[in-house]
Amino acid sequence: MSKKSQLVAQKSLATLLLLLLFSLKAIKLAAQTSEIELFPLANIRLLGGPFQAAQQTDLRYLLELNPDRLLAPYLREAGLTPKAPSYGNWEDTGLDGHIGGHYLSALALMVAANDNTEAKNCLAYMLGELQRCQQRDPDGYVGGIPEGKEMWEEIKAGKIKAESFALNGKWVPIYNIHKLFSGLIDVYILTGNEQAKNILMPLADWWFDVFDPLTDDQIQQVLVSEHGGMNEVFVDVAAITNDKKYLRMAERLSHHAILDPLRKQQDKLTGLHANTQIPKVIGFEKVASAMKKTDWERASTFFWETVVQNRSVSIGGNSEREHFHAADNFQRMLTSREGPETCNTYNMMKLSRNLFLRSGERKFIDYYERAVFNHILSSQHPEMGGFVYFTPMRPNHYRVYSQPQEGFWCCVGSGLESHGKYGELIYAHRKADLFVNLFMASTLDWREQGIRVRQETAFPYEQQTTIEIQTNKKQDFAVHIRKPIWLEAVDIHLTLDDKRVNYEEKDGFLVIRQAWKKGSSFIKMALPMTIKEEFLPSGEPWVSFSYGPIVLGAKQGKEGLKGLFADDKRMAHIASGTLLPLRDNPVMLAADQQVSSAVSIKDPDKLLFELHQLKREEEDVTMTLQPFYTIHDSRYTLYWRVADASTLDSLVASNRRLDSLQLLLDNNTVDAVIMGEQQPESDHHIQHEEAYTGVDEDAHWRASKAWFAYELKNSKNKAGKIWVKQERTSDACYELWVNDLLVKPVDELLVDEQFKLLIYSLEGDDHAKLAADRLLVTFKACNDRGTGKLFEVRLLKE
Ligand SMILES: [Zn+2]
């Protein structure tokens, strides 16, 4: 919080009064079908260890944000004068205000998890200002979307122009306002703050007023545009108000293009933008739970299974360049600089948590544990703070971190939240029975039952945990301790007050049921970890290693870590430094994929290991492995290509070929857009008319009956040529205009059966006109069949 806004917060009498009213009283929404319930986050505290440290780092980052800058879009849209300029990056290019919503959630989490006073002050200040904005609007609307109110009026009138990443020409406005809804709900549920509810309810009624008059078809049309989990939000609103009309709204806001194949247990996810879909499924599950729709329940479980079991890598992340790739082909994942996106895992964990609460099945926690240790914990810089967007699986690449005043990406928003809620699922209860789900040093205060729990462990640096159960009276109940999947083959060693204890094993949990004496009892559970290899779910010959649930990586060099701490440039969230040659990555030599003996322990206390059986061309190589979450500020490898002696030579030759192609493109590309993909298109300020997008296999394209255009960056006027990747045969055609100049193709290259490249020259007499930092590249249809499907445009030096 800036000094100025601190002053504002402190001076305001209204705010002080609010603070007095701000009693930390978590709200419990009526449990729908689930029997297992979470404890309020405010009853759980982390005790030391990497998770508490990560929470503190996140808190520092959170408090460096200036609420007045986050509020600026809201004030502007309400016709008020902003007290500070809005932030840049995604916050002033269309997604204005989205971080403000995440900020509310993150502050509420920090208030609940830490009782942090500064976070409380910021929260009170935010709510006061948001309410001030809302009071200016007769309909109860408040939002940061540029000229949002006008756009919502169009929607209300049934004028709907929806694309995957735009609605009526705005950059995913429902996704944006979903963050505000979620933020207000989180504040209310986590802290019991009534003011949040007092902003939420008029906002929900404004939404109702806009969307209720629309037909089901019109709503489905709107839902084509990325919309976060608006269905989830309305299940919560229904639970808060106990009014079924909001539940019907939640049901209507469920996107059938995604839901219906899932209800038939069909995986139609290839090519879809991953993080657009996951929140919808969180909503399907919540609607299912609230309305007892068993087929929707099965649909959400099926989605979870297909993503976790068929589409995820060892750290628990999924997707490449933000999209689900073909489940049987991880090739692009392993060569791309844009691996799993952190938001996806944040949302998959939410879904896992909810599915666990409903079903009590251990597998959901097994995934949650994998994701929290290996993806989420690793996605924040431990000392500097800052959040990771993409975690490349490409061997020997690296990740970049956001900076508080510069980067305002989606993964900053979800990152601010993620590290505040490590405590949420450590414990749970079913009536009077206690569940211990995760091995994290922490305490639980279960006031209603007169029970306190204290879990002491340095896991994974210590292979056991001690759980102290302290009750204020003698009472009967069961303690269910998760037996994680990685302990499946191991004899369990469990003691109570240092004596062997009777337990039953049920649904993946060790259940100690007895009369607990008044005072303290100590359960000790051994957590012996072993090395396990994990091939890709597709069966492709790439392997990753874990020790217990901890995924191991090899820390590598620091060369060329361009943009390690990202600036405010539009594409700064991508680790754009040099892709090092594939041929330099050691290959694991193993017959019949037998790799388990390749890892040996080097230093058990520090969790250091050695990886053998590696060959870099002719040379034998040994690499050191360590927990992936401890690797920062360097390149790393998580997956190794496995080959046997007979395939090694052809692999080396193929890597060399790919390297030279990559090098040629890397050295020559000035800028490029994958057409039809959300992020690259919006990063290049797409404009269009009568345009549409689609996916063939997993290749995205765009086409138009009229025209579409991108603004390409031509720094230092280096571009000499343009490549356009398109269908090899098509009777459609287009003209290519660069700025206001019609450019003709000079060459054509056939890529394969499906694609060809048309090559345009920017050199010649008119070139002077094109010597600009930014080139507006326009594709105009030249007949009524439109432009045809175009896949990629690339500015090249030569
Ligand atoms: Zn993200």
Question: How many Cβ atoms are within 10 Å of 134's Cβ, its own excluded?
Answer: 20
Q: Is residue 412 part of a domain?
A: yes
User: What is 1-14 written as a DSSP string?
Assistant: --HHHHHHHHH-HH
Judged on CB neighbours under 10 Å (0-12, 13-18, 19+), 175 is: buried
Residue-wise pLDDT tens digits, 253-284: 999 999 999 999 999 999 999 999 999 999 99
Q: Is residue 27 part of a domain?
A: no
Residue-wise pLDDT tens digits, 350-397: 999 999 999 999 999 999 999 999 999 999 999 999 999 999 999 999
Residue 659 CA to ligand 1 center (angstroms) comes to 29
The greatest distance separating any two alpha carbons of the chain, rounded to the nearest whole angstrom, comes to: 92
Cα separation of the two ends of the chain:
49
Residue 389 CA to ligand 1 center (angstroms) comes to 6
The verdict on 637 and 694 lying in the same domain is: no
Token pair in block for residue 273: 């933008």
The verdict on 649 and 680 lying in the same domain is: no
Q: Is residue 155 part of a domain?
A: no
Lowest-confidence segment of 428-432, 575-579, 746-750 by average pLDDT: 746-750
The verdict on 72 and 198 lying in the same domain is: yes
Judged on CB neighbours under 10 Å (0-12, 13-18, 19+), 522 is: middle
Q: Is residue 153 part of a domain?
A: no
Lowest-confidence segment of 231-240, 466-475, 568-577 by average pLDDT: 568-577
CA distance 216 to 568: 40
Type of residue numbered 755 = F
Residue 322 CA to ligand 1 center (angstroms) comes to 8
Task: Decide if 735 contacts 780 (C-beta within 8 A).
Answer: yes
Coil vs helix vs strand at 398: coil
Band of residue 24 on the pLDDT scale cut at 50, 70, 90: low
**CB crowding 241-255: b at 16 or more within 10 Å, else e:** eeeeebbebbbbbbb
CA distance 113 to 270: 38
Residue among 702, 735, 740 at smallest CA distance from 164: 702
Q: Quick one: pLDDT at residue 765?
A: 66
The half-sphere exposure of 652 on its side-chain side, counting CA atoms within 13 A, is: 16
Residue 415 CA to ligand 1 center (angstroms) comes to 8
Q: Is residue 398 part of a domain?
A: yes
Q: Is residue 300 part of a domain?
A: yes
Q: How much of the chain, in percent, has pLDDT values that exceed 70?
A: 95
The verdict on 555 and 689 lying in the same domain is: no
Q: Are strands 427-430 and 433-436 parallel, antiparallel or unpaired?
A: antiparallel
Q: Cα–Cα distances in Å, from 554 out to 416, 634, 637, 638, 763?
A: 27, 10, 5, 7, 46
The verdict on 622 and 689 lying in the same domain is: no
Give residues with Cβ within 8 angstroms of 17, minimum separation 6.
Answer: none
Residue 296 CA to ligand 1 center (angstroms) comes to 26
CA distance 743 to 745: 7
Q: Mean per-residue pLDDT for 545-556?
A: 98
Question: How many Cβ atoms are within 10 Å of 628's Cβ, its own excluded?
Answer: 26
Lowest-confidence segment of 155-169, 310-324, 588-602 by average pLDDT: 588-602
Q: Of 363, 391, 418, which marks where a domain is finished?
A: 418
The backbone torsions φ and ψ at residue 322, rounded to the nearest 5 degrees and listed phi first, read 75, 0
Give residues with Cβ within 8 angstroms of 702, minimum separation 6.
Answer: 675, 676, 681, 688, 691, 692, 693, 708, 789, 790
The verdict on 270 and 400 lying in the same domain is: yes
Type of residue numbered 649 = D
Q: Quick one: pLDDT at residue 696?
A: 81
Residue-wise pLDDT tens digits, 710-746: 999 998 888 889 999 998 877 789 999 999 889 989 9
Q: Mean per-residue pLDDT for 204-212?
A: 98
Residue 662 CA to ligand 1 center (angstroms) comes to 26
Q: Mean per-residue pLDDT for 608-620?
A: 94
Q: Is residue 734 part of a domain?
A: yes
Residue 344 CA to ligand 1 center (angstroms) comes to 7
Q: Quick one: pLDDT at residue 32?
A: 46
Q: Of 387, 418, 449, which marks where a domain is finished?
A: 418
CA distance 319 to 307: 9
Q: Quick one: pLDDT at residue 662?
A: 80
ω before 528 within 30° of 0 (cis)? no
Q: Quick one: pLDDT at residue 552?
A: 98
The verdict on 238 and 356 lying in the same domain is: yes
Residue 378 CA to ligand 1 center (angstroms) comes to 15
Lowest-confidence segment of 87-101, 235-249, 658-672 by average pLDDT: 658-672
Q: Which domain holds residue 648?
A: 531-653
Q: What is the CATH number of the domain that holds 123?
A: 1.50.10.20
| pLDDT above 60 for 788 | yes
The verdict on 639 and 675 lying in the same domain is: no
Residue 340 CA to ligand 1 center (angstroms) comes to 9
Q: What is the CATH number of the domain that holds 501?
A: 2.60.40.1180
Residue 388 CA to ligand 1 center (angstroms) comes to 9
Task: Decide if 537 contacts 543 (C-beta within 8 A).
Answer: no
The verdict on 311 and 393 lying in the same domain is: yes
Q: Of 418, 446, 480, which marks where a domain is finished?
A: 418
| pLDDT above 90 for 5 | no
Q: Quick one: pLDDT at residue 683?
A: 87
Q: Mean per-residue pLDDT for 329-352?
A: 96
Band of residue 14 on the pLDDT scale cut at 50, 70, 90: very low
Q: Quick one: pLDDT at residue 29?
A: 64
Question: How many Cβ atoms are within 10 Å of 308's Cβ, its own excluded?
Answer: 21
Which has the higher per-residue pLDDT, 643 or 766? 643
The verdict on 264 and 333 lying in the same domain is: yes
Token pair in block for residue 44: 């759980």
Lowest-confidence segment of 13-22, 444-453, 555-564 by average pLDDT: 13-22
Number of independent structural domains in the chain: 4
Q: How much of the chain, in percent, has pLDDT values that exceed 90?
A: 82
The verdict on 472 and 535 lying in the same domain is: no
Residue 726 CA to ligand 1 center (angstroms) comes to 29
The verdict on 542 and 647 lying in the same domain is: yes
Q: Mean per-residue pLDDT for 10-31?
A: 50
Q: Mean per-residue pLDDT for 749-753?
A: 79
User: What is 257-285 written as a DSSP string?
Assistant: HHHHHHHTT----TTSBHHHHHHHHHHHH
Q: Quick one: pLDDT at residue 762?
A: 86
| pLDDT above 90 for 13 | no
Q: Quick one: pLDDT at residue 602?
A: 96
Q: Quick one: pLDDT at residue 767?
A: 66
Residue 527 CA to ligand 1 center (angstroms) comes to 33
Residue-wise pLDDT tens digits, 476-528: 999 999 999 999 988 899 999 999 999 999 999 999 999 999 999 999 999 99
**CB crowding 660-674: b at 16 or more within 10 Å, else e:** eebeeeeebebbbbb
Q: To 10 degrees, the CA torsion angle through 59, 64, 70, 71?
A: 90
Residue 410 CA to ligand 1 center (angstroms) comes to 4
Q: Is residue 703 part of a domain?
A: yes
Residue 69 CA to ligand 1 center (angstroms) comes to 21
Q: What is the CATH number of the domain that holds 734?
A: 2.60.120.260
Coil vs helix vs strand at 341: strand
Residue 411 CA to ligand 1 center (angstroms) comes to 4
